[in-house]
Amino acid sequence: MLPTQCLCTKLRRAARNVTKRYDDALEGAGLKAAQYSLLRHLERLDKPCITNLAEAMGLDRSTLGRNLRVLESEGLIRLGACSDQRNRVVLMTDEGRARLQRAREAWEVVQAELAERLGAEKRAALMALLEELETLD
């Protein structure tokens, strides 16, 4: 890998590396990190409309829509009517809840491994930096 001082390149490399760790851990549950995150958001938000879910996840509706179609085809979510006719509510199925539960332990193992590798001080600093970068306008 070529060394670089480009923040974008370094962040993308780091994100790919971290995502791969989660993807590998979640493979046994048949999920990828992005799918796990989406299901966790659904669990926490309890029947959100697509617009609200996209906003909560920091995604545009078209990106979210592509991800939802994959989960819907696997029977993990279903779409229903929302109060706004231009929107749809996203509902997790029983299979989605079961798959999320199977994946939870693997997710927590990777979380703990990364936290241990960084240590408390570096993890806190990283979280603060990432928060700052998330809120750039």
Write down the domain spans for the chain. Answer: 19-108
51/55 Cα distance (integer angstroms): 6
Q: For 94-134, what is each residue's pLDDT tens digit?
A: 999 999 999 999 999 999 999 999 999 999 999 999 999 99
Is 90 exceeded by the pLDDT of residue 56? yes
**pLDDT of res. 82:** 79
Instruction: Report yes or no: 103 and 23 within 8 Å, Cβ to Cβ.
Output: no
**pLDDT of res. 114:** 98
What is the CATH code of the structural domain delimited by 19-108?
Answer: 1.10.10.10
Instruction: Classify the phi-psi angles of 75: left when phi > 0, otherwise alpha if psi is within -120 to 50, otherwise beta.
Output: left
Q: pTM to 2 decimals?
A: 0.91
